[in-house]
Amino acid sequence: MTREQLRERVRKLPLSPGVYLHKDRTGKVIYVGKAKALRNRVSNYFQTPERLNAKTRQLVSHIDDFDIIVTETEFEALVLENSMIKKYKPKYNILLKDDKGYPYIRLTVQADYPSFSVVSKPAQDGARYFGPYPGRVAARRAIDTISEALQLKTCSRVFPRDIGKDRPCLNQHLGRCCAPCTGRVPPEEYKALIAQAIALFEGNAKALERELNEKMAEASEQLQFERAAVLRDRLRAVQKLGSRQHVVAGAFAELDVIAFVQGETRACVCVLHYGGGALQDKEYTLFHVTESDPPEVLAAFIKQYYAQRGAAPKTVLLSHELEEQEAIAEYLSSIAERRVELAVPQRGERRTLTRLAEKNAREEIERREQQSERRHKSLELLQNVTGMIALPLRLEAYDISNFAGQDTVGSMVVFIEGQPKKSDYRKFKIECAANGQDDYASMREMLTRRVQRYVDGDEKFSPLPNAFLIDGGLGHVRICKEVLDSFRLDTPCFGMVKDDKHRTRALIAPDGREFGISATPALFALIGRIQEEVHRFAITYNRQLGGKKVRGSTLDKIPSVGDKRRSELLRHFGSIDAIKKASESDLTRVVPRNTAHAVYEYFHTEDKQ
């Protein structure tokens, strides 16, 4: 569609609120926006180019068509815009990563002995939910902290069903659990502890301290000194917990302070979470430098940020005034199910808080830019040492792994500017290894499949890297060179050679030249990190395939053999038959003596039977 045709369509648009979707020649949505008046807003994109900033000019150059969705109110348009951005993930919109996840803590209050767990989101199931939390680690830490303070169970056993089925675990002996598994803790007593845990999760530590003080004094007056001592210890644990209240608090407190700061090469949004008058947590989101106005970036961030988390605080202080501030406040209120205040303080204590957020954002930009500069220097070192023509901004590393000679897999990891880009990682199930272990043939198959996908135009395997790094020696890197030659590609490739301590000592080229890296700490750290990551990724995939098959094997019937010992035995001997034929002394070289004896006795007793 020509510019004039687009302008003609714009003239016919209504002066109603709504959402517009810009599309490219293929019909793909490349930008989603909202407007109070669609005709006025969309017409701005088709004015003279000199009046547009560079980012908007680039967007407009790719617009071939657009759609609109008319809404009743600006608020409806805002909600719909956020939904469309999440659905289409347009190239020219500011997008937040949606994979972090902000989990909740779930409490089964209906059970006789309630238990905590970490879940992705609340459900209408009668349970109590606390959060959201910055991540699963933070949620798990909150559960562990409160459980230890109140001596709650952390095991997966269900009571009263499992009472008396097994002896108490180590937590009882360490004084970390009241041991309901013994049957000596009635449901009413355990639920009283749970009520105290709920008070802590809800931030009522001071009220709980007063309650425990009163109960302790009452127990002393009644000469119940043992009970008074228990309450005293619990009170001390709760008081100690008070200094770590941020560990227990969810991701959203009473007040959030959000600031946007732009540096030379990147921009940062900093969020400070406050509760009880104290700073509880902070989060950073970094962007590459954008020519968008700070209010536009901040508005896009806030809408997506709170929508992803499904909660919002009572007050949000901002560093910049937003064009659609009232509509966004209404949107956050709908998420929080209560009124949320959006404010841009100009003076006083609130302004001090936004300045602090700006300072934190600036410091984070400086820190990231310093890190980026160090990584860039490491890449320059790699370029100089190996003689590569281009700076290796994109590196790909490859490794082969198998489980006891079976389930051979390959892994490909990608590093962009010295940082792993996990969305570009790929894994391969090797087909040629069905008849036996052959690392060279496996490497050839993996690399051939990878390059062929690139040649076929598969976007998931584009572009090619500036260099291929192979976990292996001269033989492996020559296989890589042969594959590249067969496709008439001249991309550099190097093998990552390890020393006798299993540390990367050098890179080796297909012609046999070695480039030492151990004397250059920055380069040594970079290559070592890449090699560890590609190995980890291969092992993880390998375990997903092979580990499942050996579960339920003969070794699982031996009481002293767990996952770790089973893996050690299979890795060393290669098969169950080989383990069966091994002497007890052979087994002792691989696993502890008592395990070796149990394995040897099991197989030889089995043979006699």
Token pair, residue 437, equals: 């272990």
Question: What letter represents residue 459's amino acid?
Answer: E
**How far apart are the C-alpha atoms of 299 and 404, rounded to whole Å?**
54
- Decide: 345 and 259 in contact? Cβ < 8 Å: no
**How far apart are the C-alpha atoms of 365 and 587, rounded to whole Å?**
55
Using DSSP's 3-state secondary structure scheme, residue 35 falls into strand
3-state helix, strand, coil in the chain (%, to 5): 50, 20, 35
Closest residue by Cα to residue 157 from 166, 145, 148:
166
Taking the CA atoms of the chain, what radius of gyration do you get in angstroms? 31
Closest residue by Cα to residue 42 from 82, 80, 24, 69:
69
Token pair, residue 507, equals: 């890179």
Show the low-confidence residues of the chain (pLDDT under 70). Answer: 97-101, 203-205, 207, 237-253, 276-277, 289-291, 403-406, 433-437, 546-553, 605-609
Token pair, residue 121, equals: 């989101």
Buried b (16+ CB within 10 A) or exposed e, 534-565: bbebbeebbbebbeeebeeebbeebeebeeeb
Q: How confident is the model at residue 572, as a pLDDT?
A: 80
Closest residue by Cα to residue 451 from 426, 476, 474, 419:
426
Q: How confident is the model at residue 237, as a pLDDT?
A: 67
**How far apart are the C-alpha atoms of 109 and 116, rounded to whole Å?**
9
- Strands (E) located in 88-200: 104-107, 116-119, 128-130
Closest residue by Cα to residue 162 from 111, 108, 110, 106:
111
Using DSSP's 3-state secondary structure scheme, residue 525 falls into helix
**How far apart are the C-alpha atoms of 259 and 464, rounded to whole Å?**
38
- Strand 104-107 with 29-35, pairing: unpaired
**How far apart are the C-alpha atoms of 143 and 200, rounded to whole Å?**
11
Write 278-286 long-range contacts (CB < 8 A, 24+). 278/245, 278/246, 280/245, 280/246, 280/249, 280/253, 281/134, 281/246, 281/249, 281/251, 281/253, 282/360, 283/134, 284/360, 284/361, 284/364, 285/96, 286/364, 286/365, 286/368
- Decide: 468 and 436 in contact? Cβ < 8 Å: no
Token pair, residue 497, equals: 């050679």
- Decide: 397 and 534 in contact? Cβ < 8 Å: yes
Q: How confident is the model at residue 550, as a pLDDT?
A: 46
**Residues contacting 337, CB < 8 A, separation 6+:** none
- Decide: 480 and 447 in contact? Cβ < 8 Å: yes
Model confidence pLDDT, tens digit, residues 70-98: 988 888 888 888 889 888 889 888 877 65
**How far apart are the C-alpha atoms of 267 and 292, rounded to whole Å?**
11
**How far apart are the C-alpha atoms of 208 and 146, rounded to whole Å?**
13
Closest residue by Cα to residue 177 from 186, 165, 166, 185:
185
How remote is the C-alpha of 495 from its chain's centroid? 30
- Decide: 212 and 231 in contact? Cβ < 8 Å: yes
**How far apart are the C-alpha atoms of 470 and 509, rounded to whole Å?**
10
Separation of first and last alpha carbons in the chain:
83
Peptide bond into 294 cis (omega under 30): no
Question: What letter represents residue 152's amino acid?
Answer: L
**How far apart are the C-alpha atoms of 154 and 140, rounded to whole Å?**
10
Q: Name the one residue in this structure whose structure tokens are 């007050």.
A: 315
- Strands (E) located in 42-112: 65-70, 104-107
Nearest 5°: phi and psi at 493?
A: -145, 145
